[in-house]
C-alpha cells in the first residue's frame, strides 16, 4: 500500500509499457506474412485481406529497414 499525496492510503497500480525492438518488429512482420498463406487467394475478400496485410507489412519493413540502414551507413556523415 502506498500513501497518496493527499494522505489517502490506497493501492497504486503501476503500468509498464513493453516496447519491441526493431528486430522483433521485423520478425513479427515475417510471421504476419507467413500467417496469411491460409487466406483463399480466389476469394475476393481473402485476396483483399492478403493485399492489405502485405502492403502494411511492407510499409513497416520499409520504415524500420530505412532506420537501420541510416544508422549503419550514417547518411549525415559525408566523409
Residue 40, pLDDT > 90, answer: no
User: Quick one: residue 30, left, alpha or beta (phi over 0 = left, psi -120 to 50 = alpha)?
Assistant: alpha
Residue ranges covered by each domain of the chain: 22-79
pLDDT band at 52 (very low <50, low <70, confident <90, very high): very high
pLDDT at 17: 64
Grid cell listed for 34: 507467413
Cell triple for 42: 480466389
Query: Could you tell me if 60 and 78 are in contact, meaning their C-beta atoms sit under 8 angstroms apart?
Result: no
> Is 39 exposed, middle or buried (CB count within 10 Å of its CB: 0-12, 13-18, 19+)?
middle
Q: pTM to 2 decimals?
A: 0.63
Contacting residues for 26 by C-beta, under 8 A, at least 6 apart: 61, 64, 65
Amino acid at each position: 500500500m502506498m500513501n497518496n499525496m493527499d494522505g489517502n492510503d490506497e493501492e497504486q497500480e503501476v503500468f509498464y509499457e513493453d516496447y519491441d525492438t526493431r528486430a522483433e518488429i521485423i520478425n513479427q512482420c515475417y510471421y504476419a506474412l507467413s500467417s496469411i498463406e491460409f487466406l483463399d487467394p480466389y476469394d475476393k475478400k481473402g485476396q483483399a485481406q492478403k493485399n492489405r496485410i502485405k502492403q502494411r507489412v511492407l510499409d513497416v519493413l520499409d520504415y524500420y529497414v530505412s532506420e537501420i540502414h541510416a544508422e549503419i551507413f550514417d547518411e549525415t556523415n559525408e566523409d
